[in-house]
Structure 1
Amino acid sequence: MRIGTLNLASGRGDDGVSVSRADLVAAVADLDVDVLALQEVDVDQPRSHHVHQAAVLGFPEWRFAATLAGTPDPFASWTALPPALDHGDLTGPHYGVALLLRLPVRRWHVLGLTAGPLKLPLVAPDPRTGSRRLWWFPDEPRAAIAAELDGLTVVGTHLSFAAPTAARQLRRVHRWARSLPGPVVVAGDLNLGGSLSALVTGGRRLVAERTWPAPDPKVQFDHVLSLGGVVGSDPLVTRLSLGDHRLVTVQVAASGRPA
């Protein structure tokens, strides 16, 4: 089984503009993955052509977990949402994470993760004047989606931009994973550089290569992490035509079996 993770960044290319529905589908169509964890996924957002980005990618099994509702500009008010799994029946603009599979899923689960107290400084245009200015964006709630497969559970998630909060959230995911059928693999943008995710959980990184920013990576934020009982082979980190992180993929198998 090949597992991948990609921070989709709402489908934005290097020019900062979200690609069309056709280009989004084309960018993902030929990926050699059985399971794909996606982060920063839009549903019905004006900036991404009102596309339900998880629904159009052609995977037979998928779920989307919205963490925010509303339209993201500096004056819009996001509404934080309790975690729930969507299979295409959401209405209105949303934003969150998705888990897509080409394999049958026995059972789905979702976990909500509370936001941290810190704010992220970003320079962005002021809609009133057009000039760029500094904005302070609050942290947002996060979610983890788990898919129980035959002999493996895969968790997809996107953790806080603040490392202390991300570490707390990852410990919460780890505790939750103990209640799921093992072995368990966590895939996503964990916002924890290098080996920190393995140190927090005692797990094993199945890919160890820098992933962000996509044009010239300086740090690895994107991980496929074994929480025990899984080995990996043939790791690849690839730059796509969209997303601000690089795609991470790896072949996985239960320990003692060929990966």
Structure 2
Amino acid sequence: MRLATFNTLHGAALDGTVDVERFALAVASLDADVLALQEVERDSPRSGHADLVAVAAEALRADHRHFSPTLRGVGGAWVRAGRPGRGVRRVTGVASYGIGLVSRFPVARWSRLELDRMPWRSRVRRRATGATSGAARVVPFRVVPDEPRAALAAAVRTPWGPLTVVTTHTTSRPEFTADQLRSLVRACGPLPRPLVLLGDLNLRPPEPTEISGWASLADVLTHPADHPARQIDHVLVDPGPGGGTVVAAGPATAVDTGLSDHRAVVVDVRIAAPGPPA
């Protein structure tokens, strides 16, 4: 089966233009059985009021999809779309922005995981103004809060066995990205294995594998799309104890779709059955 992850930049090209048909063709070219999407929108003026996750599902001829918004409103006036324990209520006609998953295989269950947010206040040690020596005191300072972040999990029924697929888009604030990934790993603890995490983690190798303890299935440069110099989009797998696992059937590729500031990551995998009991 083929897995892919794509930060879509709301379907925009590097010149800022959005063409929904062009977006559909780009997604179709990935030919993914399960596609993780970040920075997708629904009912937004800047993306033609389209439901980009639905467009992606139609392009892949996939019957199963879910859009999980993190923000609601228009640019410059976004508000949080959902709160832990309350879910996300759809408001018809109001723009939403977030993450999504598309699957050609049936999904037994969808789950949303809220990620820890960077605190409003941080504490630093600072000397008195003009002082070059002497003791520094701890003072608080306010930081601009990051947008809310979430993960979307799907219990996928593949022809080769069950597979949990999770997608997320972690914060780009470097002082908190690692902590947020740790919170996601903890939140994924109860989910069935094998589990694959696909998404824009805003971390470079080897941090995602070191933080999660999971194996990487993709070693490709993904950002920026026109001249990629770093990998911040990842495919990680956690087999779980005593179960089957997911292994790459070949090297991953970074696909320049002609859209977004990210390249999509595509990897063909196979689900290996668990070995015989000892």
Q: Name the TM-score, length of structure 2 as normaliser.
A: 0.79
Match of 1:139 in 2: 146
Runs of 4+ residues deviating >6 angstroms: none
Contact 2:12 2:19 in 1 (8 A): no
Contact 2:116 2:183 in 1 (8 A): no
Match of 1:44 in 2: 43
Which has the greater radius of gyration?
2
The one-character-per-residue Cα deviations of 1:6-62 (angstroms, maximum 9, x if unpaired) are 000011102122x22222212212322101111011111111111111112213111
Contact 1:63 1:85 in 2 (8 A): no
In structure 2, what residue type is equivalent to 1:24? Answer: F
Quick one: which of 92, 97, 100 aligns to 1:98? 100
- CA RMSD in angstroms, aligned pairs only: 2.2
Across the two proteins, how many residue pairs are aligned to each other? Answer: 236
Gaps of 5+ in 1: 119-135
State the shift of 1:241 in Å: 1.4
In structure 2, what residue type is equivalent to 1:67? Answer: T
The one-character-per-residue Cα deviations of 1:147-177 (angstroms, maximum 9, x if unpaired) are 1023210001100002342222221221222
Contact 2:11 2:20 in 1 (8 A): no
Q: Name the TM-score, length of structure 1 as normaliser.
A: 0.84
Contact 2:254 2:265 in 1 (8 A): yes
Quick one: which of 183, 186, 189 aligns to 2:194? 183
Partners in 2 of 1:168 and 1:232 — Cα distance? Answer: 28
- 1:231-246 equivalences in 2 (<5 Å): 231-234=247-250, 235-246=252-263
Q: Secondary structure at the match of 2:249?
A: strand
State the shift of 1:3 in Å: 0.7
The one-character-per-residue Cα deviations of 1:68-113 (angstroms, maximum 9, x if unpaired) are 11111xxx32101226468x87431111001111111111101111
- 1:69-148 equivalences in 2 (<5 Å): 69-72=72-75, 76-82=76-82, 84=87, 90-117=92-119, 138-148=145-155
Counterpart check, 1:64 vs 2:67: yes
Gaps of 5+ in 2: 121-142, 240-244
